[in-house]
Amino acid sequence: MFDAPAPGREPERSRLPSREDALPRAADLARRVSALLGQPVHLRLTDNRATLVSYRRLPEGVRLRLHHLFLDAPDTVVRALALYVSGDTAAGEVLEAFSHAHHGQVRRERRPGAPLRTRGRCFDLKAVHARLGAAYFDGRVHAVEVGWARRPARRTRRTIHLGGYDARLREVRVHPALDRPSVPAFVVDFIVFHALLHADLAATDAGPDAHDDAGRCAAEHTPAFVAREAAFPLREAAWRWLLENLSSLRRG
CATH code of residue 222: 3.30.2010.10
Specify if 97 maps to a domain. Answer: yes
CB 59 within 8 A of CB 11: no
- Is residue 101 located within the same domain as residue 138? no
Closest CA to 5 of 99, 76, 112: 99
- Is residue 200 located within the same domain as residue 243? yes
Specify if 2 maps to a domain. Answer: no
Specify if 142 maps to a domain. Answer: yes
- Is residue 62 located within the same domain as residue 172? no
* Calculated CA dihedral for residues 140, 46, 93, 3, nearest 10 degrees: -10
pLDDT of residue 189: 97
Query: What pTM, to 2 d.p., does this model score?
Result: 0.55
Domain of 142?
Answer: 125-250
- Is residue 90 located within the same domain as residue 135? no
Q: What is the per-residue pLDDT across 37-55, written as a single tens digit (0 to 9) for each?
A: 999 999 988 876 667 888 9
Least confident of 71-85, 147-161, 238-252: 147-161
pLDDT of residue 181 exceeding 90, the answer is: yes
- Is residue 132 located within the same domain as residue 245? yes
Give the whole-angstrom CA distance, residue 243 versus residue 249.
10
Q: What is the per-residue pLDDT across 12-27, written as a single tens digit (0 to 9) for each?
A: 344 556 777 788 889 9
- Is residue 77 located within the same domain as residue 140? no
- The residue out of 106, 136, 162 marking a domain boundary is 106
Specify if 61 maps to a domain. Answer: yes
- Is residue 196 located within the same domain as residue 229? yes
pLDDT of residue 136 exceeding 50, the answer is: yes
Of 14-28, 160-174, 190-204, 225-239, the range with the highest mean pLDDT is: 225-239
Q: List the helix and strand counts (H, then E) for the chain.
A: 8, 7
